[in-house]
Amino acid sequence: MQGEATVKELTEPFSMSQPAISRHLKVLEEAGLIEGGKKAQARPRKLRALPMRFAYDWLDEYRQTWEFKSSRLDKVLSKIRTDHNHPSD
């Protein structure tokens, strides 16, 4: 989906109620990640690109840290498995 979307349109692909989707949208709107419009009774929402870019960049820094730590954990667990499967006598 591109452009603006109503709560009803956003609800369709998910197994969530419209009130639940509305609560999520309110949080995103308060965070400045989306903006709401008003067309008659509908209140279409759309993403705000710049704040989303800041959020993406911020999350990407953590992603890199998590990947590094996950890689280190994989090595430690691999060594533990190897040591467990081939104990020294």
Q: What is the pLDDT of residues 35-89, one digit of tens each?
A: 877 665 667 788 788 888 888 898 998 888 888 888 888 898 998 988 888 776 5
Query: Which string of b and e fits 70-87 if b means at least 16 CB within 10 Å?
Result: eeeeeeeeeeeeeeeeee
pLDDT at 6: 83
pLDDT at 40: 53
Per-residue pLDDT at 9 exceeds 60 = yes
pLDDT at 89: 54
pLDDT at 39: 61
Paired tokens of 12: 């369709």
